[in-house]
Amino acid sequence: MGFKHEPFILWKLPYYFFIRVCGLLAYLSILSYLTVWLHRLRGTKIGKGVFIGHYVGIDDVRPDLVELEDKVGITCGTLILTHRFDMTKYTPGMAAMDIPYEFAKVKIEEGAFIGHQCIILPGVTIGKGSIIGANSVVTSDIPPYSVAVGSPAKVKYRLFESPPKPNENVSLSEL
């Protein structure tokens, strides 16, 4: 997925404050229903039956660039980022924290599961029904129905010999 730039806009400050407060409440919430509701309020696109555990962080600058499809599970302590430094703008004498950001979408497809304490980096798509092992750092796309682990996360094995057809319903209990 491509990265885009966005200038800092002063009149957006109340919006940034709002998404941070909602993000903090969602981070501490132990009721998944409330957590999902707060993240939707921040602009994150969240499908039906999604589970989000406590201490899950969704980007504090552009949470609206995250899409979680139906029946996605995200367990405690995971962080999903949609912004990163644009390293082409780093010049000598500049403080690293002053490097401008670039943004990209994160999409977690239907029925995928993210284990404890993972970090999902900007621009990544995690395929339908895939499982990410605990403490993994996902830096690139993960194909559907794969088990991926480690930092950077690599596909350990595929769950099915041939991928299911588009309308074939595969329940999580089969994985």
Task: Report, in Å, the least distance between residue 148 CB and ligand COA.
Answer: 8
Distance CA 171, CA 35 (A): 24
For residues 12 and 20, is the Cβ–Cβ distance under 8 A?
no
Per CB under 6 A, 147 contacts ligand COA: yes
For residues 103 and 62, is the Cβ–Cβ distance under 8 A?
yes
Distance CA 147, CA 138 (A): 12
Task: Report, in Å, the least distance between residue 117 CB and ligand COA.
Answer: 8
Q: What is the dihedral of CA 167, 157, 46, 44, to 10 degrees?
A: -140
Which stretch, 3-11, 80-88, 101-109, 142-150, contacts ligand COA (CB under 6 A)?
Answer: 142-150
Nearer to ligand COA, 99 or 149 (CB): 149
Task: Report, in Å, the least distance between residue 160 CB and ligand COA.
Answer: 14
For residues 110 and 171, is the Cβ–Cβ distance under 8 A?
no
Footprint of ligand COA on 88-127 (CB under 6 A) = 115-116
Binding-residue total with ligand COA (CB under 6 A)? 12
Per CB under 6 A, 134 contacts ligand COA: yes
For residues 52 and 74, is the Cβ–Cβ distance under 8 A?
yes
* Binding footprint of ligand COA on the chain (CB under 6 A): 75, 115-116, 131, 133-136, 147, 149-150, 156
